[in-house]
Chains A and B, each alone.
Chain A
Amino acid sequence: MKKSTVYFLFISTLLLNSSCAEKKVEPLTPANFIFVEGGMMKNKNSQLYGIKGKVLDFYMGKYEITQKEWNEIMPKNPSNTIGDSLPVEMVTWYDCIRYCNKRSKKEGLIPYYDIDTTKDTLEGDIRINRKASGYRLPTEVEWEYAAGGGQLSKSFTYSGSDVIDSVAWTWKNTGDTILSGNWNYRSMQHNHCSTKPVGLKKPNELGFYDMTGNVMEWCEEWHVTEHISKGTYRTQRGGGWINIDDYAKVAHRGYNEAKRKAMDQGFRICRNKD
């Protein structure tokens, strides 16, 4: 056997062992992130199913940003329900991109957003450096693709299941007892419903937790329709612990005022592959 062939086999074996035996020690994937292989939408419930277009590869956080992660970067925890492993909530869209930029700088990455607070009547003129290595919010398409299971999709209605209770914290199951009947917020208050620690429910096909329920997740774009013009609403997906099930479906396009804080509204972050 030639020397070079032995060397090749040796190196390959080493790489194979080190990469698969301890798959969580993954130098190319940031901690608590998952590499999402791009492609066409495979989830048949998606509005993007059958559309000729490919989602590019990207990394996305396995969990919603927790209050511990928030506190490591930002000066004040705005959350309504306090706990290190709970998702941060009561954050505006602007709060989220500030978090992304601050965390990027702290970790030596190039910030994704250029925030000029002198220009915009809303709050800052936000410019995006799409090639930047820093943290960012997912686009709606990226979110829906990842929540729908990406290339491993089993076409579930909710992220990881057709049975919402198995994958999501919702208004029915986040309190002292299981609620039934029709939605009523006052019943939820009496039942002490609130957010839950991330990662306790079943993950979806790609390994993402809580993409349905717990907190709604801000996405990048303005929400624009025939009746709604650019500049007021930013997109958010996945539903939270307050809304009814219809608003938690993978395909449902949610939104809220960009400057509004809400106790069922948080985010998860992404990074470009390269």
Chain B
Amino acid sequence: MMKKLKMFTFLLGGILLVNCSTEDPDTASNLEELDVLKFSATQAFFVGDNRTDATTLNGGYWWTIYKEGGWGKLNFSGAQTYPGNFEIEYKNNQDIVGGKGWEYGQWNRVINYNIGTLEGSYKFVGAYGWAKATSGELIEYYIVDKKKGNGIPGVNKNQDFTVNNKNYRFLVQDRDGPSVEGDKKFKQFISENKNPNSIALNVDQRISFQKHAEHWGTYGNEGSLNNWGWYQVFGIESFNYNASQNDGNGNWGKINATIW
């Protein structure tokens, strides 16, 4: 009898010990109050050195700007007349990239644009953003309508295609992270206009995403791009200005464009 009782008390103790082993989450709270830094878009937004990235809406459009080194200015002074208008001017940057568009992409979006001013040094003018392929691969995409020098580097898939009266190369590039997914590899899909000089100023232009998306899906080896839950914008990027590409402007540039 005593032996059985000892066994019972041991088991009971074991159960009690197990039951008491987890912590009460309410007693271990050290929740921190975090300030949220808010930005408001003004008519002229100077890109500062300490805080170089901000997003909000202007004229109903989402915008983004990032700058590393030098100075840069994003201006919406024409947006009261044309809601999709923006102007970016910059100098001596290691990298500056910005533009106007939509917070979330669409695989079949049509971006209409008109470039009024484009001066100085730049790597690319066109559409860019992020999407996810059915392979699970995260894709950073560029549609390079205009470029100076080599533009965005990539490996030619030799699968040219035509859309919106523009003939494009399809380039791909593996990139080391970080990305929005973390410190992981990701891929770049690049549609590069083979005749960038054909994009004249003050002439309405169009980028129809559907054809690009279908082409990337067919020849990119990553399945279709099925998640467009990240931004999709039209803008400009200038980085690592090379003196050999000197166009008389030094590392200075400016764009004034309108999207709709």
Interface status of B14 (Cβ within 8 A of chain A): yes
- List B182-227 residues whose CB lies under 8 Å from chain A: 182-185, 223
Binding site for B on A (CB under 8 A): 4, 7-8, 11-12, 15-16, 19-20, 23, 26-29, 34-35, 37, 152, 160, 165-166, 173, 177-188, 190, 200-207, 216, 225-228, 239-240, 242-244, 246-247, 254-257, 260, 262-265
- The verdict on A182 contacting B16 (CB below 8 Å), with A166-B32, A239-B182, A240-B183 known, is no
Chain B contacts of A178 at CB under 8 A? 34-37
Which of B20, B51, B136, B178 is most buried by chain A, counting CB atoms within 10 A of its CB? B178
Q: Decide: A19 and B13 in contact? CB cutoff 8 A.
A: yes
Residue pair B13, A186 in contact (C-beta under 8 Å) = no
**Interface residues, chain B, with chain A CB atoms under 8 Å away:** 1-2, 5-6, 8-9, 12-14, 16-18, 20-25, 28-32, 34-39, 50-56, 64, 66, 68, 95, 134-136, 177-185, 223, 229, 231
Q: Which residue of B is nearest A21, CB measured?
A: B20
Query: Min CB distance, B152 to chain A, in Å?
Result: 17
Shortest CB-to-CB span from A203 to chain B, Å, is 5
- The CA of A70 and the CA of B231, in the complex, are separated in Å by 39
Docked Cα-Cα span, A204 to B23, in Å, equals: 10
Interface majority SS (helix, strand, loop, mixed), chain B: loop
Q: Which residue of A lies closest to B6 (CB)?
A: A11
Contact A247 B182 (CB under 8 A): yes
| Selected contact of B18 from candidates A35, A225, A244, A263, CB within 8 Å | A35
Check A262–B50 contact: CB distance below 8 A. no
Q: Is the CB of A12 within 8 A of B182?
A: no
Choice from B16, B36, B37 contacting A19 with Cβ under 8 Å: B16
Chain A positions within 8 Å of B34 at CB level: 165, 173, 178
Q: Using Cβ atoms and an 8 Å threshold, which residues of chain A touch B36? A: 178, 180
Residues of B within 8 A of A190 (CB): 50, 52, 68
A242–B53 contact, CB under 8 A? no
11 contacts between A and B (CB under 8 A): A15-B16, A19-B16, A20-B20, A28-B14, A178-B34, A180-B54, A181-B55, A207-B24, A243-B179, A247-B182, A264-B178
> For the complex, what is the distance from the CA of A41 to the CA of B69, rounded to whole Å?
50
Contacting pair A4 B1 (CB below 8 A): yes
A226 to B134, CA, bound (A): 9
Asked whether, in the complex, the Cβ of B25 is within 8 Å of the Cβ of A20, the reply is no
| Interchain CA distance A256-B56 in the complex, whole Å | 32
Contact in complex: B182, A265 (CB < 8 Å)? yes
